[in-house]
Amino acid sequence: MDKIFLKDLVVKTLIGVDDDERRQPQEVIVNVTLDIDLSHPAASDSLDNTLDYRDIAINIREECATTEFYLVETLAEMIAGMCLEEKGVEKVTVSVEKVAAMEFVGRVGVEITRGK
C-alpha cells in the first residue's frame, strides 16, 4: 500500500488533566501516515485524483484549535477518524506528542493505527 504522510505538524490545543495544563492551549506535534492507493494519481499527475495533504493539515489544525481534550489518546483518535473519512484512505497511523510535558523528558505521546 502506498502512503501519504505529514510529519511534525505543530498544532495548538487545550489538552491535559492538570489545572496548569488547561489554562491555555499547548503545542503538540502530530504525525500522520495515510495508507492509500496512489497509482491513479501518479498516472494522471492531477491533484483532482489524490488527497490534498495541505487541506488535511489545515483541517487537523482547525479541529485541534476548537476542541478540548484531557488525553492525547482522545486527540489521536479524533485525528484518525477525520483521516479515515477521506476518500481512498484504508488505514491511518497517528502519533501525538506533547512537548515539555515533563521537565526531564523531551516529548511524551501515543501512536495509534486505525483502519476501515
| HSE (side-chain half, CA atoms, 13 Å) at 45 | 0
User: Could you tell me the domains of the chain?
Assistant: 3-115 (3.30.1130.10)
CB contact at 8 A, 71 and 13: no
From the CB of residue 115, how many other CB atoms can be counted at a distance below 10 Å? 11
- DSSP 3-state assignment of 73? helix
The predicted model gives 25-42 an average pLDDT of: 95
pLDDT tens column, 65-115: 999 999 999 999 999 999 999 999 999 999 999 987 777 888 899 999 999
CA distances from 71 to 37, 49, 52, 78 (A): 32, 35, 28, 11
Q: Report, as residue numbers or ranges, the catalytic residues.
A: 98
